[in-house]
Each structure stands twice: as C-alpha cells, then as structure tokens.
Structure 1
Amino acid sequence: MTVSSSARLRSSSLSLAICSVLMAAPAWAQQSAPTAETSAAASAREATDLDSVIVTVERREQSLQKYAGTAQALSQDDLRGLGINNELRQMQVAVPGLSIANQEGATEVFIRGVGSSNNTELGDPGAAPHVNGAYIPRPRGLGGMFYDLERVEINKGPQGTLRGRNALAGTLNIVTKRPELGGVFGGYVQGEIGNREQRGYETALNFPLGDYAALRFAGYHIEKEAGFENVGLWRHIQPAGIQDDNAGRLSFLYEPDDKLSVFAMLDVGRERGTGYPGANLFRAAQEGYDADDIELRDIIYRGVQGKVDNKLWGFQGTVRYDFGPVNLEYNGSYRDVDYFQINSASDGNTWPGRDLRERPPGQPATWGGIDYDNFGTNYLQARSQAQTHEVRLSSADDARFRWTTGGFYFHEKQQVGFIALADKGAFYSGTEFTMPDVDGKSWAVFGDGTFDVNERFRVKGGLRYTDERKSRDGIGGNWTIGLGGEGGVFQTRLGTEGFMPTLLDRPSFDVAGLSSNADMARFLLQGILRAGARDTMQQQLQGIVDGSRPNGTCIDRPDIGGNSVDCPANGQHSFLVLGVPSPQHGSSAFDFLDWRIGFEYDLTPRNLLYATVSTGHKAGGFNDSFDVNVIPETYKPEKLTALEIGSKNSFDFLGRTATFNVSGFYYDYADQVFQDLSVIAFNPDGEATGFALVNRNVGKSELYGLEAESRLRFGGGFTLDLNALYLQTKIKRGVVADVRSQDFGNGGITSQIDLAGNELPLSSRFTLNARLQQAIDFARGTFDWQVLAAYRSSFFLTQYNDRDVTFLRDTAGTVDRVESSAIAGFPDEQPGFTQINAGAGFTTLDGAWRFEVWGSNLTNKDVSQKALVGSGVNVRFLNDARSYGMRVRWNF
C-alpha cells in the first residue's frame, strides 16, 4: 500500500469576483474651490484634477479617465488615509474584484476571480505582479515594497499583448517615487504607533546631483503583533502573524534633456516574524460549529514555534531615448529571494466546551485532551534568482498611428527545499521535495498599436508570441520508516526542540543507486542538519549505517509506543522497512499567441465609448514524478478570452465636475487547471493501490457582469465615490478528484466530483463600495476625513460550493458513505459582510506637518478570504484583524 505524497500539492483555487472602482486623489489632497472663483473656472480645475490620475496599462502614461478599459490607481495618500499601510492584502477592501491572500509567504493575487494558488516552484501567478513595470515571478515580500510610492495600479482583464506571460487576469503594478530633478533637496520623516503594539517609521531623502540628476533614498520599518491568539496550554509559543520588517531603496534618475532618461533602482528587504496565519476549521466543523460560531483567531498552538525569515534584494534599470519619430527603451531587472519558513503548528481552533488539557502519554488520539507534544509541521526553503530584459520601440505620442513593438526575455533559477514532518510516525515520518535545480525561461515578441481613423474614432490591435520552457531536477517522496517490536511497531520521533532539516544543503541528491537498507538509512540521516533534543531517528538508524545493528537500534520509550510495544531481546527491531524519496526529473515546453482588437469612440470630448476583445495566458507546466520510468504528465497553459464594452463620462453636477463609468464584460476561461487523480501504484494483481493528485486542464468556466462607478462632488468639500457590481459565474465543465475525500489509509483513494453548475470561488453576486471624503480649510491648515464602507454578498471559498462529500470504500468506487460538507469538516461559504475603514488628518498651511489617525476593519469582522482544503484540512486565511493608530509626518 502506497501513501500519496500529496503534502506537496496545493489545491488550485479558482475564484471570480468582478468589480471596477476608479478613484482619483483623496479629497484632502485636492483644493476646494474658493467661492471667489467662477463656476466655470472651478469645473475646469476639477476636470484637470481628475485627468491627473495616471496609469501605464498600455505601456504609456495616460489619464485614467481616458483609458479605454478597467483599471484603478491608488496613490500613497489613498493607501495611508484608508489604513492600508503595510499589508498588501488590505488593498482588496478598496479595490472590488481584487483578492489577495498570503500562503507560505507567497502573495496570491486574484483579479476578477482569476489567479493561481499553486505556490510550488512549478506554479505561476495568474495575475502578474510588477514593480515599476518589471515582472516579479515569485511574489514573496511584495508587502515590503509598500512605502514611498507614487501609486499602485491594478489593471483588470487579460493583458497578454503588452504584459505577456501570466497576465491572464490582469496586472498589479507597484510604482515607486522617482527622484525629483531641478536641484530639489527634501524629503520626509514619518513615525506611527498603533494597536497590537504597532511601531514603525518611513523616511525618504531627495538629494540633487546638479540640475539634471538626483538620488532618492527611502527606508521603512514596521513591528506589529499578531491578530491571532494562542489559547492552548503551551503559552510560550507565539501565534502566527507577528511582523518585523525592514526595507530600503536607492533610486537614481538622470535626464539631461527631453530626449534621454536613465533610471536605476536598488532595493533590499528583510521580513521576519512567526509565519503567516491560518485557522484550521476542520475539527470544529466536525463538532458541528461553523465559522460564525467560534472565534476563528483563537488557535491552539503546539509543538514547534512558527518562524519566517525572508531576505530579498533587486536591481532594475530603464534607459529611454527619443529619436523623434521613434522612441527606444530598454528595461532590465534582477531579483533575488531567499525565503525560509517553519509553519506554526496547531491543533486547530477551540470551540465552546473543548477540552484544552494536555493528553497524558499513552492515551489514544480520541481522548478529549490535546497532544501538545506533537512537533509535526512543514519546513520550506525557497530561493529564486530572476532576470528580465525588454527592448521596446515606439512611435511618438502625438502620431496618428501610435505603435509599440519589441522583445522580452525572462530567466529564473530556483532552489527549493520542502519537508513535511509527521512526529511520532510509524511507517511514515515525512515527505520531502528538495529541488536544487529548477529552471524557467520565456521569450516573446510583440506589437501593439492604435490608429486614429478620424478625430473621434480610433481602432487598436495587438499580437504577442510567447515561447516558454521549464525543467526541474531533484528528489521527492516519502520518508518511510517501519521499525518492528514485540507486539507492534515503534514510532520515530523527528522534529522536537532544536531540530533543523538539511534541505538544500544535502551532500547528495542521488537516490537512483540506493538499494540497501544501509544506503537508505544514510540518505535519510543526511536530511538532518541538527537533530531535535528528543528525536530518536538518528539513534534508531545509525547502527544500520555503520553495520553494528543491521535492523536498527531499538529505543523503548513511552512517547514512541513503549507502553504497548517491547524491544526484542537482541536490542534490534524484529523487522525493518525503509523508503526514500524518488528522483524528480521533469520538463515542459509550450508556445502561444495573445491578441487584442478594439475601438474607441469619443461621443463628445467628455464621453468615451469603447469595446475590446483580448486574450491572456498563464504558463503551463508539469507534475511530480511518481515512476522513474515514466515521463511526468504535463499541463498546457490556461487561456482567457475577454470581451468588454464600456463608457467613461464626465459631466457637470451641482456646478462641479463628476464622473460616471460603466462597463459590461464576458470571460471565456478555457483549459482551466484543476487537481485531478492519478494512479501511481498497483498490487501484484494489477489493482490500483496508490493515488496522487495532479494538475490537469479539465476545467472550463464563464463569467459575466455589469459594473458601474461614479464620483460626485458636493459643496463643503465633500466627495462621494460609489462603485457597484452585479456578477454571475459558472463552472461549465470540470470532473475532478474531490480532495476532501482523500483517504491516505487506503492508498490515497479519492472520489470524483462534477463541478459543472457550481459558482467560481470568491465570486459575490453583489458588491457595493461607498467612500465619503471631506476637506475643510482653516486658517492654520486643512482638516480632512474619509470613511470607506465595502459590502460583499456571500460567496464560496472553494469550487466545491458546500456540496456533499463522497467517501469510497475501495478502488472499485464502492460508496461507503456520503456526508454533508459541514459534517465532513468542510463548510466553505463566507456569509455576506461589510468592512469599514476610516481616517482623518490635519495638514499645516505650509505643508510641513501632517497628523493622522486611521483605522481598518473597525468592526473587527472575521472574513475568510481563502480556504485550503484536503484530507483533514480546512484552513481559512483571514483578513487582517482590527487595526488602528496615529502617525506624524514632517516634510522638509
């Protein structure tokens, strides 16, 4: 009987939640119209303010209100005012259609419900992250870039033509502040304090190098306690979610004339803390409790202390030269990520009446108490070195035919070590996937253009060809250790206090020639860098390696089965079973075309009508190896085709400029990747006995919706932003393995489920955002305040949509039992909710000082933003708990 190594695989959650919200600068950053001005002059000035919001969706700077598509730009002041300070995932409260979660340090971005939850070295984001337009393949540590910003752009819909690889759902682009030219010396210092012992600072200094060049230094630090609480008896374990982050950035800009521009940026960052929090609702659900019945942030921590240490740095540069009719631009970047994490281990949530006492040694797992002395957890080491290069030629911005063409090259090397430990295991002690050599390459050529048919009508189109290749070499599979005794099997302890795995520092990754027990025992021991204080594995196996005890040294202790099992008289085990991971060699190669066509029509200078059809792809890949003689199964790129029709409008309202934008959209999502089941082992009679999960293109979905947004200005300095969405989603095809039913005690056998007719995860039927702002001028400065209320109707967290779970009795598909998702431990519906953020501030008349108070999630609403489900697992990833504080900023 073979146990599947599915600890390595992640559920690929597909989610669709659609909305668009277009915000300009916050009200406090805009001047109120003095009463002495005429109404016409005031309207003209306000229109200019709206047009000043800039985005680079089409690789050119243009007004957001003039961009024929759906995007949003949030300035640094927007983010601060809404309490979105150092948590990238908090942005989703201000951006309908955006979902961000953090799993094992990897930032998962979903736009309009499309994205990817595959965080392995073979996974790729479905919504492409960028920093200053440079592609980020491993979005770890993006929250550490959240300082001294110009803006954050969220471009909705596939951007395959201009952004290319993995812009299936759109892009998120973090735009940093550039140095100021003209001999400007200045900067700011900002300090802040808040609840949960939050302390932080941010600073920037602009240093001129003559009139045509300048340097800008920016730095950032934040400390913050977790929003989770350890309610178990082992109070020395700190809960997940504690932050201690530092970052710095040095930028250089040189522009001697209006033709040449040279920009370079070096950034470094360090994230430390106790790991990324999740709440395992599985056991509470089996006891009859739903998420609303318990405190999701109250966790019973046990065993090992969670830890994260992420070191990253990067360099990027841009050189532009204007030759007149043609512009030449080169963009290059390099990013290095060195990430290490020990998962915070827990026994899930508490619930009313749960017995939190420690389980006495020797008591079975069914006893009401908790086995705190359980150090089973996951260790992850992930390194990435990625470079991008892009050369673009483009026409002048005032040409009748505005075009862009160029080439793109991407290369990433990765080294990844992962081990999942099962403390006190018998026949199974863990799963290791260590890959010292992972390689990914992609190149593309593209062209895109817009042609003015006349002064009011424009047509556009683009085409991009992409070639991508991936390969991987390493090891992957189970650590199998069976140690017989008189009356049963002894367990192996692995991972107690002080334990550290070798991971990427292994002396050898060659398992092809390991045949004897001595060879396999030696290989297993080489996976341990430092043994834990109460581990037994080294003692049990060392005699096999040196030949002194061919069946291993028998250790008789109560915590590893010594109460019910005795050692044989010769001090060795009565039998020995050892197994090591298998070789992992895989590769894939794909190419694809992306295209877009569309038109823009100016009904009037203030009313734009547009329509586009565009495509995007997410990279394909290959699965884990289950047989060294069989080439790993590959899966091809996912494809999204989107139709969007919309209108953007400016008009006079109560003597002031207002906007109303509306769009309708339809997505055809093809070759969708879901996890399916594969047979990996057979018994001598040819019957399937081992199963594992693989990624396959078995899905197809559609979604459509209507969204509208409006900005209205009133007297007294009031501004109101309203954003509404109606959304329908449906999975049209997808018969897949139901990972909720996987039975590792029966070879990993899993039932199948037909997802057709289900809603896509994270897709609320209705979404409504309202943001009210006011700015009031006083003799000594300006006072401003704002409130954001974001409502979402209920949505499902997984593609299973609370459907019943079918558990199989055998490989013939005989049904043993069918349970509701709640009884089986897998409720996955998030009820509708409203989240409220607010802020207020005062800026002195000379602009030198600003004082602010802010609050996010003020009602402390617990919202599940994502779920990771599997056998015995229903982990909820939550929004950030209530956060509030104050800050002071000095501009000089």
Structure 2
Amino acid sequence: MQTYRITVAALLLAGIATPLLAQQATTAQSDTPAAAEDDAAIIVTAERRDQNIQDVTGVVQSLSAAQLRADGIADLRQLQVAIPGLSIANQEGNIEIFIRGVGSANNTELGDPAAAPHLNGIYIPRPRGLGSMFYDLERVEVNKGPQGTLYGRNALAGTINIITARPRLGETSGYVQGEVANRSSYGFEGALNLPLGATAAVRASGFYANKDFGFRNAATGAQARTLDPAGLEENYGGRLSLLWEPTSALSVSIVGDYGKETGTGYPGANIFPAVIATGLRPDQLDLRDVVYRGQQGVLDNTNWGVQGKLRYDFGSVSAEFNASYRDVDFFQANASSESINWPGRDLDAIQYDNFSNNFWETRSQSQIYELRLFADEESSLRWTLGGFYFKEEQQVGFLSLADRGFCCYSGTEFVMPEVEGKSYAFFADTTYDVSDRLRLFGGMRYTDETKSRYGIGGNLALTLGGENFDCCIATRFGTEGFRPNLLDRPNFDLSNVQTPQQVAQFLIESTKTPGVRDTLIQQIQTIANGTNPNGTCFTRPDIDNGFVTCPVNNPSDRNGGFSYANLGIPTQQVGSAAFNYFDFRLGADFDLSDDSKVYAKVSTGHKAGGFNDSFNGSTIPEAFNPEKVVVYEIGSRNVFELDGRRSVFNLTGFWYDYSDQVFQDLTCINLDQTQVPPVCNGYSLVNRNIGSSRIRGFELETRFSLPARIGLDFNLTYLDTKVTSGIVADARGQDFGAGGNSPLIDLSGNRLPLASRWNVNARIQQAIGLGSGTFDWQALVNYRSAFFLSQFNERDVVFLDGTRQTSLEVGFPDEQKAFATVNIAAGYTIDNYRIEAWASNLFDVQASQKALVGSSLNIRFLNDARTFGLRGRVTF
C-alpha cells in the first residue's frame, strides 16, 4: 500500500510539473493543426452546464460523431474500445455497463443499472435499445465516477450521455450516407435540416442497418443446421427534432425518436461441457463455434420516446424544465444452443430434438420531469437548485422450459404484469470563486424511492404416473412453433386457483401457441375441463423413457388417465421496497495558470435498492438496500504547448469506498422445519447487501499534436480492486443430493468482476492534403489486461464433503486473458463528398465480456467479431 501511495503521489506531482515545464519550452510556432485546436476546446455538459472539457473537475471523455465513425463505433457496446475502464456487455438484450469496476448485472424488475444512461441529458431507466440511437449524433460523453449530486438516480458508476445533433437555425443542410461491409452487412443513414423562418428549425434523420452474425452454427441435425446463429441484426429508426428560439432569452426544443431492433437476439453459449470434455481453457477453444438446436432465435424490440426542454434566461437567473416519456417493448426467444463445439466432438450423437429455451418480455413506460434554476455563469457565485421526479411502469415476463426432461419437470415462469417505481429528488449545487484562481464547490441531493410489483413466479411442474404408479410419463413443452403467453396470460390471481381443475387450466394458460409436438395440453386438458381428473395418458416415441407405460390395470385409472397427476404452478409474487438516501460532493480547484489546474474532491453515489422473489415459507429478505460508493479524487488538468503545438496532459488519482454491495447468494427457499435439524429442500439466487470493496487507481489522458498533422491520443486507466468483505454460497459446488445446498466461500481479497488492472487506449491519426482534397487515416488500439468474469475469481471449489478441485477441473474457469483489439480507418474528402474504409477488431480477437456461472453452466457473452467495410457520405 505504501508503494502505491508513493507512486500515485509521484504521478500527480508529474501532472502538475509537466505543463509548467512545457510552458517554459514553448516556441512561437503558429502551425498548430486544426484537429489539436478542436481537442483543446471540446465542450461537454458533464457538470450540467456547457464547459470546456479541461474545466471539468473530474474525468469525462467525449467522442464526436466523426470520431465515432472513424473508431468504428456503431452502437453502445463498442464504446469500450475507445474508453479505458469502460466495460459493456449485452446479456439477452440487457445492456450492462461497468465503469472502473462498478456496475450491476441486475437489469430486471428486481433491480436497476448502476451506470446511468442519458439521452440529451435526460435519464433513461432501461438501456434496452440504446444501440438504435447511434446515428446523427453530436457526441457521446462518458462521465466516470459517481454523479449522485448532479445526475442522481443510479449514477453510482458514472453516466453515459448520448447527445443528438440539434437543428440549426437559418440553415438548409444535411447528409446522406451508405455503407457495405463483410458478414453480408449494409446500411444507410441521413439527415435533413430545414429552417422554419428565422427563429425555428426542424431536423429529420433516420437509419437502417442489416448485419449478419459473427457466430457459426456447428449443428449437423437436419433441422438444427438450418438455424441462423445469434447476433443477426436488422435495425432501423428515425428522429425528428424541433428548435424554437423566438428571443435570445427563450429556447424550446422537442425531440421524438423511434427505434426498432429485430434479429436472432443476443444469448450466450455454454462452455461448461467443452471445458469438462477437453480440459482446455476458453482461450484455447473457438467460442463462436456454437451447436444450435431447437427453435430459431427471435428478437423484437421497439423503443420510442419524446422529450422536451424549455429554457428561459431571466437575466441573472435562468430556468430549465425537462420532460420525457419513453416506451420500451422487448421480446426475445433465445437462439438456444447445446453448447459450444470442441475438437473431436461427435456432433451427430447430439440430441437435436431438444427445444429447451428461455423467453423474455419487457415493457416499460417511464416519465421524467426535472426543473432547474441556475445562476449566471459570469457570476462569482454559480448555483443550481432543482427538483426531479421519475415514474416507471413495467410489465416483465420470463419463461424457461426444460424440454425432453427425463420426467417430472417442465419449466420456470416469472411474470409481473404490474411493476411500479417512483423516485423524487431535490438537489443543490454551487461553485464559488474565492479568487481569480481558487474555486470551492459543493452540492447535495436527497432522493426518495418506492418500488412495488405483483405477479407470479416459480416452477411449472408435471409429475404424471404410469402403470403401478411408476414415475413418470414424460412431457414435451416448447417444441417448434411454441409461443408463450407471458404478459398476455388471462389470470395472475392465484387466490382463485385452488382445485386440480383450476391448476391444470393455469398451466395450460402458459401457452399462447402450442408447439407442434407439445404434449402438455393433450395430457392435462381433460383435468382442466373436468372430464377426467387423472388426465389423458399416452406414449409416443419422443416421450418414451423406456420403462414407464400408461396404466392398464390400476383401479385408480379412469378412462385412460394417469395413475396420478401432480401439477405444480408458480406462487403469488407481491413485493415492495422503499428507501431514501443523501448524496453530496465537496471540493476545490486551483488554477496554476490559464491552462493548468489541480483539484481535489469527495463525492458519493447510490444505486437504488430493490426486492427479491418471494417463496412460501422462505426466510428470504423481501428487499435489499441501495448500494453506496464514496470516492476521493485528486487530479491535474493541463493544456500546454509542445514544440509550438497545443497538447493535453491530465492525471487523476482516486480511491473508492464501496459499501452495501449486492452479491447474488444461493438461499434456502423451502425449509422443512418438521425435521430436526430443519432440512432445506430448495435453493434460489437472492440479492443481498453482504459485500464491501475498495477501488483505487489513476487515469492518464494525453493528446499530442505532432508534426505532419499527426495527432496522438493516449489514455490509460489503472484499477486495483479488492473485495473487503462478502461470504456467499459457492454456486459452482451446488450439491443437489443435499437439496441444492452449496459450500460457503469468502470473497475477501478477490478482485471485482470485469475490472482489468491495466486499460490502455491509443489512437494515432493524420490528415494529409492530397490533390483537391484531404486524405486521412487512423488506428485505434485498445488493450485490457486479464480480468475475472465472476466474483469467484477462478478460486478452487471446496465441496460440502471437504474435497477440493480447481476451477478448471470442475468446468468454471472465469479469467479472461489479456487481449488487444485494433480498429483502423482511412478516408478521402473532397468538397462535400467523402469515402472511407474501416475495420473493427481487425485481428478477430475473441473476448468474453460477461459470464453467467451456476450449476453446470458457464455461459459466455462475447465481443463483436471482425467487421470491415466501405462507406460513402455526401453533405449539403
């Protein structure tokens, strides 16, 4: 620790000294490239007002629309190649954002993201569909560290702000762009800006993108080999923006947008069987070689919204009112797979007639209102006062089906037709100029949140007896053509589901469209309609388990029914949670010169708490509390001249105290207290505030202007993360022979998931006059040192009986090895015409960005495969 402190102190001193020395060496050259001048004058809104990026007291990184194109960034996930310390994964349509190791994998109705996405500064509660907003942009800002005071809700890790292009007054302009790429990809986008008199303008824009998958279907089964792999995308969207500025004091803007995502979805693939069969690590396997089976994966996501801003300048005080409504309608049937392929595997021996699958449905309708009053920027006392209100109504459905089970079990269903969240907050922030060089700043925010939900959750089960009460006749559920009811269920009130007849009807109502070879309805329809309380027994080759036959002689059998029919349905889920919390920031910055300053601050952030699933007779806590982080930060921000060219050198050190951290923990849900001692007969993952961590590190940001119009950006983030407390059940060692019990593991000393120690980003670019136009090129390199994908950090598994095995031996290696990706681009511009070529992930590096770890499951979600193409653009 002492060495670390000395290192950080030395780096910060270097950050102060470097610009001073550079100023002494400044020459009178005046041929500074335009690109460098632009870099030194980037305007951002990280502190809720327009500022030069060098005036921000913190770390914010901004990418313009042109830079995003050159970097090959076409959606939100790809931002991480240009922003060190940022990690973004897509788990079955859930966008999961981590900044400096802080984030959340709980994007269901039970919880919230921990990094707050924004569109034009307005909060977006559900980040599904954000990828369809990456067109006709002005810039994207990534604000690192907690923003609990100025941005508030769920800005524990930081914020990502997508800023769309504004209409331009008095100007008729626009652009048209088209592109083609490998993987059968193509697309176009365009925008048209029209003046409406002298004081108003409208801007219309849209895009279309068709992109093929980066996976290969290794299946050999007749039906399975026709399936398209995961990752196929066909997306389109449109945006209409209106700006009205009748006077210099009044500004009104309205933005409406619509986005549609379709394709085969974003499920992961299980590597567990491949690791067990081969003993190889994931980096020794082809993780994109997947054995698909069952139904074709389907994604259908619609995301639309409207937001408005009204701003009025009263003179020394201004007011801004923001309002937003957003609607998300998401459905995904997973592109289900047997697992990844591995060398020597007999693909023909796989049971392809297996339609086990997961289905997801999420609908969200959110409203946001915010009123801010703020002082003139020229005042020595600049302040902001505001109020914030948020309301979200969600409807969430999930169904997991285990087709071709040996017997007894059919699926799990959690469907919540009523989920409501409300939040209101009051905040104040101020900056005071003590002198021309010294400023003090501080802020505070009070937040009050409530959440509630109503629905059903638990297992769908059938135990159907054969001859002599043998167990059991198998059931097919979810075969080709199957579609679940989910949120279209006719009934969610289990108080009126008591009799076997009602239970059978409730099970049947899980299905909207039966699969062509489903047997469930045929087997229990006569129970539901009352014609035979024991159902209808039959056998068929694909449900014949070889040793159970339908009853013939049993006196309990009436009219061809089962010897017994035990049906299980989910339980009623009613959850609620309420909490409030207080955030603050406090600090000072001091100008060493006109272009150099140092600062120190302490700031806090919270992620909203939530609730857990409930089970009859369980002791699971109904709710979990908000997570909290306190961050201490010092830094130096500097613009200086080097050999007569303007450059940037910023250095920041930080220390995080992360408390009330939520870990998922296996917890008993069915405790039999009739036995001594009590015996648990079932376990489920539960969210608990049982962890704490500390994070320390530093960030280095540099931008250099070199001779020959060469620009060099070099950004580095170092993270030293450590779990300081947290004892959880080790799901990797779950013992179903002991009712699902698992050994405990102390996570203390482990690193936080997805947190590389070293994150390096380097970009070199050059513009050269060529003929009547300009040729430009760039290369972007992103390096991440090794990181862990789960909280277990690949430690040995110690089973209940005391035996110990390595993580690799039991199929759970979870370390992603260090890797580097390279994106390149080159373009030629002449007058209003531009043509450019690009390649993303040039060397087709495979990297896991997320893992789900559980009993016999090590599911990986990967980065995007190599993409290269050609793009043409005309501006007018």
Query: TM-score interval w.r.t. the shorter chain?
Result: over 0.9
Task: Tell me the residue number matched to 2:237.
Answer: 247
Q: Look up the match of 1:31.
A: none
Deviation at 1:47, TM superposition (A): 6.9
Q: Where does residue 771 of structure 2 map in the other structure?
A: 779
Comparing 131-140 with 277-286, greater Cα deviation is found at 277-286
Residue 689 of structure 1, CA deviation: 1.9
Q: Distance in 1 between matches of 2:617 and 2:388?
A: 35
2:220 is the alignment partner of 1:221: no
Matches within 5 A, 1:411-560: 411-425=391-405, 426-486=407-467, 487-560=470-543
Q: Who is 1:304 aligned against?
A: 295
Q: Which amino acid aligns with 1:257?
A: T
Q: CA deviation at 1:464?
A: 0.2
Aligned to 1:179: 167
Deviation at 1:99, TM superposition (A): 0.5
Q: Against the structure 1 CA distance between its residues 528 and 745, is the aligned structure 2 distance closer, same or farther, given a 3 Å change threshold? A: farther
Does residue 882 in structure 1 map to residue 866 in structure 2?
yes
Q: CA deviation at 1:540?
A: 0.4
Counterpart of 1:3 in structure 2 is: none
Matched, 1:728 2:720: yes
Q: What is the match of residue 589 of structure 1?
A: 578
Label 1:560 to 1:640 Cα distance change in 2 as closer, same or farther (>3 A): same
Question: Which residue does 1:652 correspond to in 2?
Answer: 641
- How much identity, in percent, do the aligned residues show? 56
User: For residue 359 of structure 2, what is the aligned residue in structure 1?
Assistant: 379
Q: Does residue 98 of structure 2 align to residue 110 of structure 1? A: yes
Which deviates more, 704-713 or 97-106? 704-713
Q: 1:228·1:277 contact (CA, 8 Å) conserved in 2?
A: no
Quote the residue 1:291 is aligned against.
Answer: 282
2:19 aligns to what? none
CA 1:209–1:492: 2 relative to 1, 3 Å: same
Deviates more, 1:125-134 or 1:560-569: 560-569
2:14 is matched with none
Partner of 1:389: 369
Deviation at 1:488, TM superposition (A): 3.5
- How many Å apart are 1:871 and its aligned residue? 1.3
| TM superposition shift of 1:44 | 10
The residue number in structure 2 matching 1:149 is 137
CA contact (8 A) 1:557 1:563 kept: no
Describe the SS at the equivalent of 2:171.
Answer: coil
- 1:867 corresponds in structure 2 to 851
Pick from 317, 329, 342: which aligns with 1:351? 342
Code of the aligned partner of 2:837: V
Query: Are 1:202 and 2:198 matched, yes or no?
Result: no
1:370 to 350, 359, 370: 350
The structure-2 alpha-carbon separation of the partners of 1:602 and 1:510, relative to structure 1 and needing over 3 Å to count, comes to: same
Contact 1:220 1:246 in 2 (8 A): yes
What is the one-letter code of the residue matched to 1:196? R
Aligned equivalent of 1:74: 63
Whether the 8 Å contact between 1:39 and 1:656 is mirrored in structure 2 is no
Letter in 2 for 1:641: V
Q: For 1:334 and 1:513, locate their aligned partners in 2 and report how far apart those are by CA, in whole Å.
A: 36
Counterpart in the other structure of 2:117: 129
Say if 2:394 and 2:418, in contact at 8 Å, map to a contact too. yes
Give the letter aligned to residue 882 of structure 1.
R
Structure 1 residue 140 and structure 2 residue 128: aligned? yes
SS in 1 for 2:799: strand
TM-superposition CA deviations, 1:715-758 (whole Å, max 9, x none): 11111111223321110001012222234564322221100011
Q: Distance in 2 between matches of 1:91 and 1:762?
A: 15
Tell me if structure 1 keeps the 8 A contact 2:36–2:704. Answer: no
SS in 1 for 2:409: coil
- Is contact 1:230–1:239 with CA below 8 Å preserved after alignment? yes
Stretch of structure 1 that moved more, 442-451 or 867-876: 867-876
Quote the offset at 1:43 in angstroms. Answer: 5.0
For 2:311 and 2:694, the matched residues in 1 are separated by 41
Report if the CA contact (8 A) 1:144-1:246 is conserved. yes
The SS at the match of 1:532 is: coil
Deviation, structure 1 residue 639: 0.2
Read off the aligned partner of 1:679 and give its amino acid letter: C
TM-score by length of 2: 0.94
Amino acid in structure 2 at the alignment position of 1:332:
A
1:738/1:603 CA distance change after superposition, 3 Å? same
Q: What are the superposed Cα offsets for residues 681-726 of structure 1, whole Å, 9 maximum, x if unpaired?
A: 1333132222222111100000111221211111111111112233
CA distance in 1, matches of 2:302, 2:739: 39
Is the aligned partner of 1:230 residue 2:217?
A: yes
| In structure 1, distance between residues paired with 2:30 and 2:845 | 44
Q: Name the CA distance, whole Å, in 2 between partners of 1:700 and 1:189.
A: 51
Amino acid at match of 1:240: A
| 1:576 aligned residue | 565
The answer to whether the Cα contact below 8 Å between 1:452 and 1:458 also exists between their aligned partners in 2 is yes
For structure 2, which runs of at least 5 residues remain unmatched after alignment?
A: 1-7, 9-26
Tell me whether 1:83 sits opposite 2:72 in the alignment.
Answer: yes
**Pairwise CA distance, 1:644:** 0.9
> CA separation in 1, counterparts of 2:619 and 2:547?
42
2:16 matched to which residue of 1?
none
**1-side partners of 2:612 and 2:66: how far apart?**
44
Give the SS at the match of 2:504.
Answer: helix
Task: Check conservation: 1:658, 1:711, Cα contact below 8 A.
Answer: yes
Preserved contact between residue 489 and residue 561 of structure 1 (Cα < 8 Å):
no
Q: TM-score, normalised by structure 1?
A: 0.92
Separation of aligned partners in 1, 2:869 and 2:370:
42
1:158-169 correspondence runs (5 A): 158-169=146-157
Look up the match of 2:23.
Answer: none
The offset of 1:40, in angstroms, is 4.8
Shift of 1:769: 1.9
Q: Indicate the SS of the match to 2:231.
A: coil
**CA contact under 8 A between 2:840 and 2:866: conserved in structure 1?**
yes
Give the partner amino acid of 2:121.
G
Q: Is contact 1:624-1:632 (8 Å) kept?
A: no
Name the structure 2 match of 1:326.
317
Aligned to 1:264: 254
Comparing 530-539 with 45-54, which one deviates more in the overlay?
45-54
Listed one character per residue, the Cα deviations across residues 246-304 of structure 1 (whole Å, up to 9, x for unaligned) are 10000000012221000001100110000104221111111212112211100000111
5+ residue gaps, structure 1, are 1-17, 19-37, 358-368, 809-813
Equivalent in 754, 777, 787 of residue 746 of structure 2: 754
State whether residues 488 and 564 of structure 1, in contact with CA within 8 Å, keep that contact through their aligned partners in structure 2: no
Is 1:833 aligned to residue 848 of structure 2? Answer: no
Superposition deviation, residue 41 in structure 1: 4.0
CA distance in 2, matches of 1:775, 1:646: 32
- 1:212 & 1:866 partners in 2: Cα distance? 49
Shift of the alpha carbon at 1:151?
0.2
Moved more, 465-474 or 750-759: 750-759
Structure 1 residue corresponding to 2:796, chosen from 783, 787, 804: 804
Is 2:388 aligned against 1:408?
A: yes
**Distance of 1:273 and 1:558 partners within structure 2:** 34
1 CA distance for matches of 2:175 and 2:515? 48
Equivalent residue, structure 1, for 2:5: none
Over the aligned positions, Cα root-mean-square deviation in angstroms equals 1.6
Counterpart-to-counterpart distance in 1, 2:601 and 2:404: 58
C-alpha change, 1:873 and 1:780, in structure 2 (3 Å) is same
1:526-576 CA-partner distances (Å, limit 9, x unpaired) = 111111111100110011122222111112112212532111115221222
- Would the aligned equivalents of 2:35 and 2:711 in 1 still touch at CA under 8 Å? no
* C-alpha distance in structure 1 between counterparts of 2:396 and 2:689, whole Å: 25
Post-superposition offset of 1:427: 2.1
SS at match of 2:605: strand
What is the CA-CA distance between 1:827 and the residue it aligns to? 0.3
**Number of aligned residue pairs:** 835
Describe the superposition over 1:448-498 as per-residue Cα deviations: whole angstroms up to 9, x where unpaired.
010000000000000000000000000001001000113531111000011
**Distance of aligned partners of 1:836 and 1:228 in 2 relative to their CA distance in 1, 3 Å threshold:** same
Partner Cα distance (2:738, 2:483) in 1 = 31
Shift, 1:630, TM fit:
7.2
Q: SS where residue 238 of structure 1 aligns?
A: coil
Q: Within the alignment, does 1:192 sit opposite 2:179 as a pair? A: yes
